[in-house]
């Protein structure tokens, strides 16, 4: 059997018109009809819980946090939502992107996407927030599972 290797991988939305036509169609007519969910896990989001490095600096201890974050989100995507097609890609020196490519996901509304992202979010982004990662028993069911699991470690 001959191996088939991809020569190019495209991810992203399927639009109502060709992307190069986005400026030529009626205002509001250019819309995503299908889209993937892409999760971004960055090391800098964990600066308030890392004890070894900060900012874009990383070491093997830092990557154990990233590994745990990846495993936690993979478990939730699989067990809580039933998504099977996930592609993890190293995004550069400080993080990992996860594209969820299941057919069932591609046509969900923006409200449902937002709900999934909110469910999986551990990071609060705001200039007023001193602690980015919030992990307590009072969070979402996903956070509660992670809190209980990681408390045992």
Tell whether 102 is covered by a domain. yes
Tokens of 2: 């001959």
Tell whether 90 is covered by a domain. yes
Distance (Å, rounded) from C-alpha 17 to C-alpha 11?
Answer: 16
Tokens of 129: 């927030």
Q: Is the model more confident about 116 or about 11?
A: 116
Q: Could you give the strand order of the β-sheet that contains 95-100, starting from the edge strand earlier in sequence?
A: 37-42, 95-100, 86-92
Tell whether 150 is covered by a domain. no
Tell whether 138 is covered by a domain. no
Q: What's the pLDDT at 53? A: 83
* Per-residue model confidence as pLDDT tens digits over 68-115: 888 888 888 998 899 998 888 887 767 888 889 888 888 888 899 888
Q: Which residues contact 100 (CB under 8 A, 6 or more apart)?
A: 36, 37, 38, 39, 77, 83, 85, 86
Tell whether 36 is covered by a domain. yes
CATH code: domain of residue 96:
3.90.920.10
Tell whether 79 is covered by a domain. yes
Distance (Å, rounded) from C-alpha 152 to C-alpha 48?
Answer: 20
Number of structural domains (the chain) is 1
Residue 152 — pLDDT band, cuts 50, 70, 90? low
Q: What's the pLDDT at 83? A: 93
Q: What's the pLDDT at 150? A: 64
* Per-residue model confidence as pLDDT tens digits over 9-66: 666 788 888 888 888 988 888 888 888 888 888 888 777 778 888 777 888 888 888 8
Query: Is residue 61 a contact partner of residue 76, using CB atoms and an 8 Å limit?
Result: no
Tell whether 55 is covered by a domain. yes
Residue 141 — pLDDT band, cuts 50, 70, 90? confident
Domain of residue 99 covers 14-20+30-122
Residue 142 has pLDDT above 80, yes or no: no
Give the chain's count of helices (H) and strands (E).
Answer: 4, 5
């Amino acid at each position: 059997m001959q191996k088939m290797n991809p020569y190019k991988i495209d991810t992203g939305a399927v639009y109502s018109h060709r992307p190069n036509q986005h400026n030529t169609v009626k205002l509001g007519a250019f819309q995503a009809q299908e889209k993937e969910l892409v999760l971004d896990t960055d090391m800098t989001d964990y600066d308030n819980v890392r004890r070894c490095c900060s900012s874009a600096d990383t070491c093997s201890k830092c990557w154990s946090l990233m590994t745990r974050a990846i495993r936690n989100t993979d478990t939730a995507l699989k067990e809580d939502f039933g998504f099977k097609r996930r592609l993890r890609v190293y995004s550069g020196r400080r993080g990992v992107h996860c594209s969820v490519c299941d057919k069932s996901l591609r046509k969900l509304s923006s409200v449902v996407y937002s709900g999934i992202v909110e469910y999986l979010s551990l990071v609060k982004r705001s200039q007023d927030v001193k602690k980015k990662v919030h992990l307590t028993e009072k969070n979402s069911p996903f956070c509660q599972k992670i809190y209980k699991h990681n408390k045992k470690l």
